[in-house]
Amino acid sequence: MSNELDAVFGALADPTRRAMLSRLTSGSMTVGELAEPFEMSRPAISQHLKVLEKAGLIERTASAQWRTCTLRAEGLNDAAVWVEEHRRGWNERFDLLGERLRELKNPELKKEKGNE
């Protein structure tokens, strides 16, 4: 799973690829439609699409001369699970840190807690 997760996070690390994914939330597009707002060469667009496809975030299909890209939201599932698992741990640590900071600001809280 680590390689797939690395591919997803690597794909999401680039702002152009994130923008492409955002554009695909409104539906499938041809490569030309998808590339329209980006000021870059066709080979550069193609490279971004390869990264997104390899990460499982889009699907590319060919029909005659048209190449269509479709969002594959399920490609984000493993990343969402990983983030959620780690968010719980981070939140617990932040809660403990917040509690410790309150104790340091108000030593009476620590005394009261110790008497329980």
Q: Note the pLDDT tens digit of each residue in 31-62.
A: 999 999 999 999 999 999 999 999 999 999 98
- Same domain membership, residue 56 and residue 42: yes
CATH at residue 35: 1.10.10.10
- Same domain membership, residue 81 and residue 63: no
- Same domain membership, residue 61 and residue 83: no
- Same domain membership, residue 86 and residue 68: no
Task: Look up the domain containing 80 and give its range.
Answer: 76-114
By the 8 A CB rule, do 69 and 24 touch?
Answer: yes
CA dihedral angle for residue 33, residue 24, residue 8, residue 92, rounded to 10 degrees: 150
Q: What is this structure's pTM?
A: 0.75
- Same domain membership, residue 99 and residue 60: no
Residue 76 vs residues 16, 48, 51, 99, 101: alpha-carbon distances, Å: 17, 17, 14, 34, 36
Number of domains in the chain: 2
- Same domain membership, residue 47 and residue 17: yes
Q: Note the pLDDT tens digit of each residue in 62-111.
A: 888 889 999 998 888 889 998 998 888 888 888 899 888 888 888 776 66
- Same domain membership, residue 39 and residue 12: yes
- Same domain membership, residue 88 and residue 41: no
The domain boundary residue, chosen from 55, 72, 89: 72
Question: Would you mind telling me the total number of residues written for the chain in this entry?
Answer: 116
- Same domain membership, residue 14 and residue 55: yes
- Same domain membership, residue 32 and residue 61: yes
Residue 113 has pLDDT above 80, yes or no: no
